[in-house]
Every structure is written in structure tokens, then in C-alpha cells.
Structure 1
Amino acid sequence: MSFLFATVAAFALCLAIEFGLGDVPERASRKAGDLAVRLCAYGLILLFWFVFSWRPWLAASSCVLTVAILHLVSRLKRAVIGEPLVFSDFALLPQVPRHPQLYYVPPVTSPRIAGPLLLGLAGIVLWYRIEPSLLPASAGAAVAAVAALPLGLAALIAAAGRGPLGRRLARRFPRPDVEGDLARFGLPASLIAYALRWRAERARPASVAASATVRAPGDAVVVVIQLESFLDPERLGGPHLPAMDLIRARASEYGRLRVPAHGAYTMRTEHAVLTGRAAGELGFGVFDPYLASGGNEPDSLARAARRNGYATIFVHPFHRDFFQRARVMEAFGFETLVMEEAFADAPRVGPYVGDAAFGARVRAEVAARRGPLFLFGVTMENHGPWKPGRLPGIDDPLAQYLHHVAAAGRMVEDLVAALTGLDATLCVYGDHAPALPTCRPGFGDRATDYALFRFGPAAAGAPRRVDRTADDLGRRLRAAIGRDAPSPHT
């Protein structure tokens, strides 16, 4: 009976949180079917915690606390980057203690984190001593009960990916609709359902190469640089950037680049450019394409370039394990990875390798080539967070950002100078807008800036502005790595 009372109390409090304090309380659905889905999610969370204690009120309290924390984190995330919490965010949690400088959270050793954690653990130990367990008295029955509950939950998860339960789940959640599903079913139910749908999609047979056509190499050098948090600083009220004059005067094409996220999720834009796949093609893997596919794609720019006879190099002055980049880039088709260890002696600008050192390495790779070269690089200098202590004498976040974006502009100018006279293509673009107080979510319709330069025999006429999506830019670049490849400009 205590389990029933605890469950009813937990469900009531969870509904109160979602309808009163949740991420979208003003749009929360009260329909019976939608409420049933919410309650099922609460039940799964409660049973998950019950597995560890067999104490109903402890499990109920943990369930309510879980729902409250999920909504708190979701609201905080929405305020910074304009998106609610999604299931793939949990896969990024191991990166937080390994790379705390990348996040707006103190390390685990900070009193602000360690204190509440220790108090919470002490409270749980005390609760274990106060509330009696519901485990059967006999040892055999207790062992059977302890084993049966987690096995039952595991069986339920397995059944959700196939059969009648899987089909019912697919009918409820046919495709990602984060805001709609959050309003209908609530945050916990959406997180669980999306994770199950992603798991079912991932279990399908891997795609095979969509096109293995071998073409003659295109331009002798193709360099694509993803600039961290780059956009024209004048859009943020900053000073004029000389590189923007160079872009408008000499780029074959330039304009706004509509990217899949604001302030974060670099991998979404990176994936779109390298594969040319639109968000609608990715199913529930759209939130983190690297987690979903691990680079196992129908095709990529690097793979196509290798087929056409190019050496393929990936340059990124950061850890190999971040976003699983080393493994993903090798799967994409990059033969050579130039990563953090290659920049061990490079000067830092703030906490990261400066764009000047990054650009020098790119130019060195171009100079050392022995045949056609496709190089894809990802800068790091202007990665957030921008906070006091990052740069000597500059504590304002926007001022820090503008300092770094000026360095990115100079690096672009140096690359243009180095490639002038070669049979080459240079593409530079911003992965997303910066998560700054002066650049709120939704700024510029999630648009950064890009430029496409053509040098040598391929040099085009007058520059023209062409606004694109990130995946469209990836398809456009196919023309540079294969002489007969079409340019499916849209």
C-alpha cells in the first residue's frame, strides 16, 4: 500500500511541476491520451530509482526530483541556445568533467558542486536507515525480486524497438517534433521516447555508399575551414572586420549560412557540410549526427575526394575524443588527422590554440602536398565560454569574442594570400552564432556567414551573394573535388 501512495503522490507532484513550472507550461496538453503517456514516463523513472533501493518513498522523491531537475536544466539550456533538453545531451555528460573549460559549469571539486553532492549522498544514506525496504524477507525471494525488476525494465526497452509496442511508439512519435511533443507529452516522456526511437533507427542496417562514381580530380587544392562561432561582427554591433571586405570583393560566392543550431552543437553543421545531408534525412539522429552514425554515412566530401585521387587531411587543434572526432573523421574518409598533439607547442590565445597557429599549419600542409589535396579544418580559438580571466585585461564577453573573431579574419586573409595563384578552392564558414548575452537564441534565423573563393583557372567573375543552408553548401563543394561533378545549387 505504501508503494501505491508514494506513486500517486509522485505522479501528482510531477504533473504539478510540468503544468506549473515546466519548460512549456502554457502549452501543456491536458488530453487523456497525452496525460497517459506522461504518467507512463513518470512510472518508468520511479521504477528505475526503485531498483536501487526498494524503498517506495525514496524512489518517489527521486522521481519528483528527477523531473524537476530535467525541467530546470531544459529551461537554462533554452535561455542560452534556444533549445530544450534532448536525449542526446546525456551522451555529452562524460565530456563535462574531462573538458570543464568548454562549459559554463564549475568543476566537480568546486564547493558549489561538491557541497550539494555530498549533502545529497548523506541524505540518501540517512533515508536508507529510516525507510524500510519492501524486499521479501527470504533470501531466495529477495534475490529473485532484485533480478526480476531490472530484467523486466530491460525487456520493456527491448520491446519498444520492435513488435506491437515499437509500432505504437512509432505512431505516437513518427518523427522529431521537439516543441510539439514537449507540449503534448512532457519533457520526461519525450526524452525517453526519442531515445527509444533513435535506438530503433540505429539498429537498422547501415547505409551503403550512395554514389561510388570516380571522377577526375577537380581543383588541385580544396580547403574548407569551419570557423568557430564566426559571423560578421558588425551584426553584433562590433567593429568592421577587414576580412569581410575581402570576402565581398574577391569571393566567388558569399552570404548567410543557415545552420542547424545556435550557440552550440558544432557537430550538426560539420556533419551537414561534410555529408550534404539535410536535417530531415537524419530522423532522430538529427540532434547529434555523430552519436547516431559515428561517421557511417552514405557518402562524404572526404570519401568522394579520396575516390577522385585526393589526399585527405583533417586539422583540428583539440582533443581526439571530443565528439568522438578522430573515429568519426576516419570513418568519413580522412587519411591524416592533425589534432591536439600536433599543436603541443603552439601558442594559446586564451585557453585554446590560436587561429594564427592553426592557419600556419594549414598553409604548411598545402605547401607540402604531393598531389591533389582536400583539407578540412576546424578552428578552436573562439570557442566559448567567454568569461572573466580568459584574456588579460579583457573581461567583457563580447569584447573577448570580438578579439578572437579579428584573429579569425586575419587567418582567412592569410589563407587567401597563400592560395592566390594556385588552382584552388577555399571555403570558410561559421559553425553557429556565439552564445553571448548580446546574441540571443534565434538571432539572424540561426544564420552565420560563409565565403567560397576560387583561384587560378577556376576563378569566377564578379562576387555574388547566395544565401545557403549548411547541407546545401556541402553539396555545392562537390563541384570542387570532381571535374564532372554537378553543382546542385538550390
Structure 2
Amino acid sequence: MNRLYFFRKRISYRLTNNRTKKIAVITALLAIFPLLLAFGVETIERGTFGDAADWIAANPSLFAMNALIYCFALLLLYGLIGSLFPAVGCTALLLFLAALISHYKTKMIGEPFFPWDILLKKEGANIIPLVTNQTVLVRVSVVAAVVLSLFLLRLFLPRFRMPVVSRIVMVLLAAAALQNLAERTPAAQRLYDRAGVNEVVWNQKDNYGYNGFGLAFTLNIQNSIISKPPGYGEASIATVAQQISDRRNASTVTPKEDQPNVIFIMNEAFWDPTLLPDVTFSEDPIPTVRRLQEESTSGYLLSPQFGGGTSNVEFEVLTGNSMSFLPSGSIPYQQYIRQPVPSLASYFQNIGYKSMGIHSYDGWFWNRDSVYKWLGFESFKSKEKFDDPEYKGTFISDNEVSRSIISAVEESSRPMFIYAVTMQNHGSYDDGRYEENPIQVQGNLTDEARNLLETYTHGVRDADQSLQMLIDHFEQSGEPTVIVFYGDHLPMLGLDYEVYKQGGFIGTQAWSLEEQKKMHSVPFVMWSNFELPQDEVPTMSNSFLGAYVLDKLEMELPANFEFNLDLFKQYPGLLTGLIVDADQNLYNTVPDSAKSVIDPYRELQYDILFGVRYLAQYLDADYLSGSALADYNMEFDAPTAVAAPAEEEEESI
């Protein structure tokens, strides 16, 4: 230790007594470290040294832009901390951690790490059980060792402290530079243009792959700001309002006298695994759904998500709005819903129903306990409100959710709108959650892939049985009821879509438009204990499901859902990077022929979520400008709720 001490003192003395040398050393280190950080980040993000080196060789100017961003980040922390090597260590820790998250998030669900992912709080911790294999632990250990080494350099080399005034100036300049790059000021845009930056907004995986992690992440900061559509204004919304009024006047629908219970069940990761062409199953895991596909209205919903992001599917179904008009990877429940937003819940509440959300997981997850209030629900039964529930594996069982639905309907004196979200079949599927899997699969699968698929299939089987439980009950109840059952997204079956590849569902190269459609299509079925016309729907975006169901029930549609129904008939599928027309033709961008109907949809969505709500000046003012219920969730949260009369407020289940 004495030798180390005198070695460091000797270097410090020489540098202190030669200011020019000291400045030169600091400048050299500040030039070298960002380059090393950029190389390290790209190695982690891309997976190998070779892939990172190939990208750098092909895109030296983009690599330099990433290094420049990291340089400003390092200068910012250097100014805040006041010592160079701890600042380098902290910068490396933050960047390498973000790159690791991005690498595995991309492998799991096809989306990298976005600026707004920082808002996920505890939701982000749910990724940890999915990435605990040996390869991941080795990568994390290597990153930890590198970061620790950077901190330990402080023991061997001088501390390069700065005067306070210099630190303040450095922080201000670095922060200003990062702000300009994020806001894309004219000077920053010129710099981007010279570097050959090409932002691929509609495909963020390609965006990060082409531009590099730091640059793509910085570009997305600006994307988190929702810009007003070019044509948006009172005049454009007035035109839309007139179109909606004309459709209503031309309608010949006669509303039903009875108000049926309307139950939406969004079953976690529900999909039909028998669609894997190279895999066979010892028995059909979804006989109930299979029967309804033959006897009732059924089809496929085009989910905006894969493997996660359940709340975005809820957002589309409940509000009728489309994720395709929002930044890729954004989460409306976390970012945008901070005031009342019209939804199916508020619509049903306004016409005499009781609107209730049921989710067998924590109420804070995706901020539901707050968002459901803004969406107009009267009550929300989250995991905390279940009384001694049945568990299957880690999570509350699907059967328990079905029992909660039955109890809620039986205890209500009003017809019910219920939006139920299950949790039992949530990934990961390598946890051995069941003692045995009753359905065996055969195919050219690795043992790991087979175990994943059998565990997932067990959950699908249980989901199907929970649906049959509801059907059995409401067939006997005599109370008119319709059930809409569907999955939120396809399951994440192994890193890098391994089960889908081994099962022959997709190829190993970049997805075609047809493969994109397959990887976002989940089955839906409708059942009712009264007569409804039967339809087969090949494709329907989640944002159109609410309008479709209301129309099937011959209920008067609120204004924005009325617009959606007309758009659905022309362009039933609408995702970022995938548009499906009525003839099932596929496009990766909005075709010119569709802009005249899709652009007003974008403007209408902006008006409701971020704009003035001009539409409320013309139509459905009570629905579009409603407020949250003052007694939201009183039946579960109020200490006197249990003692309240049944007609006024239902008892906690």
C-alpha cells in the first residue's frame, strides 16, 4: 500500500506542478473513455465484440456521435462528482446497465430500452426472473467486473479534482449540449445530418441497430413528446363530427330493451399453441375456444404487443385509441393518462351499468389503480382485494378470476360491464410451476423449448377451462350476458423467439409482413346466452374491438367508437409498421388510399388525449368531457363498505 501511495503521489506531484501536462492528461482521458464506453455499450447491445466492431467499421461517424453523447454524459457526472474516475465508473454503470436491459428486452419482446422505460418503477423488476440463466449471469458478472475496475483506478491514479467554479461550468455546458441533442435544435440536426443519422421510427429494433444505442435513445427523447397532427384543428374535428352524425342518422339499429352483462376477459398471453406447424400435442388444450370458433363469433385480434406490455392492449380496447399513433414502446398508462379519458367503462357507467375492473395482480402494476379511475370505472378489484384466493404456480388462478366475475354479477343490482385481466399464465415458463403437465408435446424441440411449451400449454388449458366455468354458470343464470374472451399478446417462449423458430412458426431471418401479422395475432371468441349473429373476423385491431362488440349488441355507439366502426370496415388492422385492408392485403406504411380515413383517426385521437376536445362541442359532451367518479372504488377502500346496503354498494368479495 505504501508503494501504491507514493506512486500515486509522485504522478500527482508531477501533474500538479505542470498544469499543461495535467490538462493534456485529463483531455486525453476524456477523449479516450467515451470511445471505450461506446464500444462497450455496442458490444453489450449487439451481443459480441465482432458485431460491435463490424458496426463501427461500417458506421464510423455514427460511432463518433454515440461517443460524443457519452462524452457529454461523462462531463456532466464529472462536474457533479468532482473526481474523474468515479465519474467514469458511474457513467459506465448507467450505460452498461441500460445496454444490458436493452439487449435482453429486445431478445424477449423485440423492443429495445426506451427513455420512458425509466418510468416503469417496480414493473421493470418483473424482467429479472426471465433472465437468470447462466449466460446472462456471466454477462452481468463481466459488466460488473469492468465497472468495478474503473472505480478501482482511483486507487492507482490521481483523482483529478476540479475547482467548484469549473465543475459548475462543466455541468451547465454538458447539460445544455445533451438538451440540444435531445431536442434536435437546428445545430444538433446539422450535426446529425453530417453523421448520416437515419431515424427508423416505425421499427425501433432497426433504429437502435443502425444508429447505435446512445444515439437512438437520445432521438427517442424527442419522440416522447406528442406532436399535433398537421391537419388537426376545430375545422377538421367538425368535419369528423358531421361524418359521425351522418352515420348515426343513417343507422337503422333498434336498441335492445334488456341490458346484458358485458364481460371482457383479457387472458394473459392466451394463444393457440397448436398453430406451431412442426409440433404435435397429446390433446387439444383449448376445446372450449375451439367449439366457440365453430359456433359463435370469433376471429383474430391484431395486438400491438408481443410478450409483454399488457396495459397497452387494455388501452386500445377500452379507449378505442391506437398505439400506432404513439411513440414505439410508449406506455399510455404511465405517460399520458393523468385526467379523465372517455372509455368503454365510462360509456357503460353513463347508461346505467356498473363498470368494474378485475385483475389478479397488484393494483400498482402499470398504474392501474389510478388509471382505472380516470377511465371511468366505478370499482377495481386487484390482487389485494381477493380473499384467500386459489393460486396456480406463482399467480392467482384463472378459475379464481372466473369466480370473482360470477360473484360480482350476482351481487350487483345493475347490469355489469366487467373488464377482467388474468395472470396465471404470465411468463416466464421455465419455473416448473406445475407438478406435472397433462399435455405432452412432440416435435423437433430442444428439452428446454419442450419444457417451456408444455408449461405454457398447461396454462392455456386452464384458461380454456376457466372460460367454460363462466359459460356453465351463465347458461343457467337466465341473466342476459355476453362474454368476449381473448389474449393480450403472444407469449414470450424463450429468448430470441426460440420455440416459434423450432416449431416452424417463423423463419430465422427478418420477419415478412405475413410473419409480423402472425406474431401479433391472438384468437378471440364471443359467447352469449341470447341469440347474436355469428361472424368470422380474420383480422381486427384491438382498438376496434369495443366498437365491434357494441355494434353486435345493437347499442348506440359513442362518437369515437362510431368512427372506429366505419374505419374497421375499411382497414381492420392497424399497427406500427403493419396495415391490413378489408381484402387482407398487407402494407408496412399507410397506403395513400387510406390516408383520407386514417389521418382523421389520428386527429380524433389527439383531440381526445392531448387536444382541446373539440369533438365534445358537437357530439356526446357528457361522455367526452366526463369526470372521474367521486366514489371510485369505495366498495373496496371505504371502511364502511361492508355494512352498506347491497343496492347502493356491493360488499367486498
- After TM superposition, the score normalised by the length of structure 2 is 0.62
2:500 to 439, 443, 450: 439
Structure 1 position 189, deviation (Å): 1.4
Q: Deviations over 1:349-387 (max 9, x none)?
A: 001110111101101112222223211000011111122
Q: Structure 2 CA distance, aligned partners of 1:74 and 1:302?
A: 35
Query: Considering only CA atoms, is the larger Rg found in Structure 1 or Structure 2?
Result: 2
Q: Does 1:468 align with 2:496?
A: no
> More deviation in 381-390 or 55-64?
55-64
Cα deviation 1:212-269 (Å, max 9, x = unaligned):
99997984211101000101231244431211232223322x1222211221111221
Larger deviation, residues 161-170 vs 6-15:
161-170
The 8 Å contact of residues 301 and 474 in structure 1, kept in 2 or not, is answered as yes
Cα distance change of structure 1 residues 336 and 28 upon mapping to structure 2, 3 Å threshold: farther
Alpha-carbon contact 1:359-1:415 (below 8 Å) kept: yes
Aligned-CA RMSD value: 4.1
For 1:234, the equivalent position in structure 2 comes to 274
Q: Among residues 122, 128, 138, which one is paired with 2:154 in the alignment? A: 128
Q: Which residue of 2 aligns with 1:248?
A: 293
Residue 349 of structure 1 pairs with residue 392 of structure 2 = yes
Q: Does 1:283 align with 2:355?
A: no
Alignment deviations for residues 369-416 of structure 1 (CA, whole Å, 9 cap, x no partner): 222321100001111112244222459222221111111101111222
* Counterpart for residue 40 of structure 1: 68
Of 220-229 and 187-196, more deviation after overlay is shown by 187-196
221, 224, 228: which is aligned to 2:264? 224
Shift of 1:103: 4.1
2:113 aligns with 85
Q: Distance in 1 between matches of 2:372 and 2:106?
A: 30
1:121 CA displacement: 8.2
The correspondence of residues 73-472 of structure 1 with structure 2, limited to 5 A, is: 73-92=101-120, 94-96=122-124, 103-105=130-132, 123=149, 126-136=152-162, 141-142=163-164, 144-155=165-176, 164=185, 168=189, 175=201, 177-199=203-225, 219-236=259-276, 237=279, 238=281, 239-240=283-284, 241-252=286-297, 254-283=298-327, 286-294=329-337, 296=339, 298-393=341-436, 396-420=451-475, 421-437=478-494, 438-439=499-500, 444-456=518-530, 459-472=531-544
Q: Residues 15 and 146 of structure 1: is their aligned pair in 2 closer, same or farther, counting only changes over 3 Å?
A: closer
Q: Quick one: structure 1 residues 7 and 149, their matched pair in 2 at CA, closer, same or farther if it must change by over 3 Å?
A: closer
Shift of residue 274, structure 1, vs aligned partner: 1.4
> Per-residue CA shift, 1:248-304, capped at 9, x if unaligned?
23322x1222211221111221211112222222236x5322222136475321122
Distance across 2 between alignment mates of 1:349 and 1:19: 40
Distance 1:478 1:19 in 2: 49
SS in 2 for 1:303: helix
Tell whether the 8 Å contact from 1:243 to 1:410 is kept in structure 2 after alignment. Answer: yes
Q: Distance in 1 between matches of 2:226 and 2:189?
A: 13
Amino acid at match of 1:45: A
**8 Å contact 2:302–2:522 — kept in the other structure?**
yes
- In 2 relative to 1, CA 346–68 (structure 1 residues): closer, same or farther, beyond 3 Å? closer
Separation (CA, whole Å) in 1 of partners of 2:110 and 2:116: 16
Q: Contact between 1:219 and 1:372, CA under 8 Å: does it hold in 2?
A: yes
Distance 1:167 1:277, change over 3 A: farther
Determine the C-alpha separation between the residues in 1 that align with 2:182 and 2:127: 35
Change (3 A) 1:49 1:460: same
> Would the aligned equivalents of 1:246 and 1:413 in 2 still touch at CA under 8 Å?
no
1:7–1:60 Cα contact (<8 Å) kept: no
- Distance in 2, matches of 1:406 and 1:423, equals 27
Rate the CA distance shift 1:145–1:332 in 2: closer, same or farther, 3 A. farther
For 2:33, the equivalent position in structure 1 comes to 10
Quick check: 1:227–1:408 contact (8 Å CA) kept in 2?
yes
1:70 Cα offset (Å) = 4.0
Structure 2 counterpart of 1:185, which letter?
A: N
8 A contact 1:10–1:61 mirrored in 2: no
Identity of aligned residues (%): 18
Q: Decide whether the 8 Å contact of 1:162 with 1:200 is kept in 2.
A: no
Supply the distance in 2 between the matched residues of 1:153 and 1:475 (Cα, whole angstroms): 50
Runs of at least 5 residues in structure 2 that lack an aligned partner in the other structure = 1-23, 249-253, 438-447, 570-653
Which AA in structure 2 matches 1:400? T
Structure 1 residue 50 displacement after superposition? 2.1
| 2:500 aligned counterpart, secondary structure | coil
Task: Spell out, residue by residue over 1:9-59, the C-alpha distance to the aligned partner (whole angstroms, 9 max, x if none).
Answer: 234334545777753756779568745643432223322442454344554
- Residues 227, 430 of structure 1: 8 Å contact kept: yes
Q: 1:6 to 1:391 in 2, by over 3 A?
A: same
Displacement of 1:188 in angstroms is: 1.2
Q: Secondary structure at the match of 1:461?
A: coil
Higher relative contact order (CA 8 A, sep 6+): 1
Aligned to 2:4: none
In the alignment, the residues of structure 2 paired with residue 132 and residue 478 of structure 1 have an alpha-carbon distance, to the nearest angstrom, of 71
Residue 586 of structure 2 aligns with which residue? none
Preserved contact between residue 250 and residue 463 of structure 1 (Cα < 8 Å)? no
Contact kept? 1:226, 1:428, Cα under 8 Å: yes
* Counterpart Cα distance in 1 of 2:130 and 2:80: 30
Cα distance in 1, alignment partners of residues 35 and 140 from structure 2 = 31
Superimposed CA distance per residue, residues 414-448 of structure 1 (whole angstroms, 9 cap, x where no aligned partner): 22233345433211111111111323687723221
When residues 11 and 30 of structure 1 are mapped into structure 2, their CA distance, relative to the original with a 3 A threshold, is: farther
Distance 2:327 2:160 in 1: 42
CA distance in 2, matches of 1:166, 1:377: 50
For normalisation by structure 1, the TM-score amounts to 0.81
Maintained 8 Å contact 1:343/1:353: no
User: How many pairs align?
Assistant: 472
- Check conservation: 2:96, 2:143, Cα contact below 8 A: no
Q: 2:525 corresponds to which letter in structure 1?
A: A
Partner SS for 2:66 = helix
The answer as to whether partners of 1:216 and 1:308 remain within 8 angstroms in 2 is no
